[in-house]
Amino acid sequence: MQTDFTATRALFDIPEGLIYLDGNSLGPLPRAVPGRVAQAMQAEWGQMLITAWNNAGWMEQPARLGDRVARLIGAEPGSVTLGDTLSIKVFQAVSAALQARPERKVILSDNGNFPTDLYMAQGLADLLATGHELRIVAPEAVEEAIDETIAVTMLTEVDYRTGRKHDMKRLTAKAHAAGALAFWDLAHSAGAVPVALAECGADFAAGCTYKYLNAGPGAPAFIYVAPRHAATVQPALCGWLGHDAPFAFEQGYRPAPSTERMRVGTPPVLQMAALDAALDVWDSVDMADIRKQSLALTDRFIAEVEAACPDLTLVTPRDHASRGSQVSFAHPEGYAIMQALIARGVIGDFRAPDILRFGFTPLYIGMDEVERAAAILAEIMATRAWDRPEFHARARVT
C-alpha cells in the first residue's frame, strides 16, 4: 500500500489559507469526528442512557481503541489501554517500575523531557519518601548514565523542544543490560514516527492522542504494558475499572489479569468517540510512508530556512535517525517572530526560552505549504516584521 496523502488531507477540516504547523501540539479536526461524537451523544447517551455501557460498547472502548493505537506503535494486541491523561499514565508506569525494582532508587531522565514527566516522577518520589532520586542528565549523557543504580529510565523519545529523537532500541537494551526497566513517553512519537515497542523490548510506554493522532483537545492518553509484565505490575492508582470484576463491587481490590488493570475510573466516552473517529484516518496509512514524507518535509524546511534566514539557529538534528517530525530554530526574539508568523497565517508555536517550533504532519501538510511557510518566515526575518509592539506582548498560554 502506498499512502495517498491527497486523500488523507481531504479527511481534515482546516481553515482555508491557514498553514498549520502545530499538529504536534493539537492536531486539527478530522471531518468524521463531529458526526461520531453527535452519535455518541444523541443515539447512545440520549436514547440508550445507562444501557449504552453494554449496548453501545462503552465499557470495552478503552481496550478496543487500545488495539487500534497498538498497531501504530508496534505493540502487541491487548497491551494498550486508553484513559486519563499522559501525566497520570506516567505516574502509573514509573510507579509500577519502581515497585518491580524495590532495591533500586534512581529514576533516570533527561533535561529535554517534558516537564510534567519530571514533575510527576518527582511527586512520586516525594510521596514514597523512601529515598528515591529523580536523576536528570543531558539527553546526550543518558546512555552513559545508565548503570546498576537505575530502577527505570523515563525518557521521551522525541524532545518536545528540539525534535531530537532518542534511539529507543539501543537505550532500552542498555537499560536491560544494567538490570533497569525502560519507560518511553511517546507524546511526540505516536503517529509521527514508526515506533516498535515490542521489537525494542520496552517495558512500559504512554502517550497522548491529541497531537499527531488528532483526537481533539483533552483526548485520552494511552498506556502500554509489555505482556511479560501485565499480570504482575502494581497499577498504583487502583481504580474500580482496573478491577478484575468491577461490577462485583468487592470490598478488596483484585487487579485485572491484563493491561486493563491500568484503567482507573469511568472513561470519557465522548472523547473516546472522537478518538475512534480520528483513528479511522490511520486505516489507510502506512507509518513507513509517513516517515519518508515527514523527513522530506523537514529536510526541505531546514534547507529553505537556513538558506534565507541566517539569524535563525537550527536546534533540530540534521541526522535523520535522530530527528522526530518537527523542526525547531532558536532566536532571542523567538516569541515575537512566532507572533508575526501567526499573524500571517503560519501557525507554529514558541517554547521558552527561545525556540520556534514547527510540526510537520504529512497527513495534511504538503511540500507547497512547507515552501510557503519558509517564504513567509524569510520575509518576516528580512523585513524585521516581527519587531512591532503587538508581537512582543505575551499571552498567558503560548
Interface residue with a copy of itself among 186, 197, 221, 309 (CB under 8 A) is 221
85 near a copy of itself, rule: CB under 8 A = yes
Count other C-beta atoms under 10 Å from residue 13's C-beta: 13
Burial of 239 (0-12, 13-18, 19+ CB in 10 A): middle
Query: Applying CB under 8 A, does 88 fall inside the site for a copy of itself?
Result: yes
The answer to whether 15 is a known ligand-binding residue is no
Q: Which three cell numbers stand for residue 277?
A: 473517529
Across 73-112, b (16+ Cβ under 10 Å) vs e yields bbbbebbbbbbbbbbbbbbbbbbbbbebbeebbbbbbbeb
H/E stretch holding 234: none
Instruction: Kindly tell me which of 287 and 315 has the beta carbon lying closer to a copy of itself.
Output: 315
Measure the CA–CA gap between 38 and 60, rounded to whole angstroms: 19
Residue 99 C-beta: closest distance to a copy of itself, Å: 8
Closest CA to 118 of 127, 128, 108: 108
Give the shortest CB-394-to-a copy of itself separation in angstroms. Answer: 9
Backbone conformation region of residue 7, classed left if phi is above 0, alpha if psi is from -120 to 50, else beta: alpha
What residues are annotated to the active site? 114, 185, 210-211, 357
What is the nearest approach in angstroms of a copy of itself to the Cβ of residue 247? 6
| C-alpha cell read off for 229 | 509484565
Q: β-strand 133-137 against 80-82: which pairing, if any?
A: unpaired
Touching a copy of itself, residues 345-384 (CB under 8 A): 347, 349, 351-352
Q: Which is nearer to a copy of itself, 12 or 172 (CB)?
A: 12
Shortest Å distance, C-beta 326 to a copy of itself: 14
Over the window 175 to 214, marking each residue x when it contacts a copy of itself by CB under 8 A and - when it does not, the resulting string is ---------------------------------x-x----
Opening angle at CA 214, ends 210 and 218, nearest 5: 30
Please pick, from the candidates 8, 271, 293, 326, the single residue that binds a copy of itself as defined by CB under 8 A: 271
To a copy of itself, the closest distance from the beta carbon of 163 in angstroms equals: 15
What is the distance of C-alpha 101 from the center of its chain?
26
Number of residues that bind a copy of itself (CB under 8 A): 92
Residue 114, annotated as binding a ligand:
yes
Which one of residues 7, 18, 177, 307 is an interface residue with a copy of itself (CB under 8 A)? 18
The residue written with cell numbers 491487548 in the block is 78
In the bound complex, what is the minimum distance in angstroms from residue 69's beta carbon to a copy of itself? 17
Q: What type of residue sits at position 82?
A: L
Q: Which of residues 106-125 bind a copy of itself (CB under 8 A)?
A: 111, 114-116, 118-120, 122-123
Q: Is 240 assigned to a binding site?
A: yes
- Alpha-carbon gap, residue 260 to 157, rounded angstroms: 24
**Which of 78, 87, 258, 295 is close enough to bind a copy of itself by CB under 8 A?**
87
Is residue 25 a contact point for a copy of itself (CB under 8 A)? yes
Q: Write out the E strands in 306-383.
A: 313-314, 326-330, 346-347, 349-351, 355-359
Q: Which range, of 150-158, 242-250, 289-297, 310-318, touches a copy of itself by CB under 8 A? A: 242-250
Annotation-wise, does 184 bind a ligand? Answer: no
Which residue among 5, 91, 335, 364 contacts a copy of itself (CB under 8 A)?
Answer: 91
Stretch that binds a copy of itself, among 175-183, 259-267, 305-313, 324-332 (CB under 8 A): 259-267
- Least separation in angstroms between residue 145's CB and a copy of itself is 16
According to DSSP, the residues that pair with 222 across neighbouring strands are 82, 207
- The footprint of a copy of itself on residues 41-80 (CB under 8 A) is 41-42, 45-47, 49-54, 58-59
258 makes contact with a copy of itself (CB under 8 A):
no
Q: Residues of 26-53 as b/e, b for ≥16 C-beta within 10 angstroms?
A: bbbbbebbeebbeebeeebbeeeeeebb
Measuring CA to CA, how many Å separate 227 from each of 4, 66, 260?
Answer: 34, 14, 11
* Residue 343 contacts a copy of itself per CB under 8 A: no
Dump the DSSP string for 3-31: --HHHHHTTEE--TT-EE--TTTS--EET
Candidates 32, 69, 73, 272; binder of a copy of itself (CB under 8 A) is: 272
- Point out the annotated binding site for pyridoxal 5'-phosphate: 86-87, 114-117, 156, 185, 188, 210, 240, 266
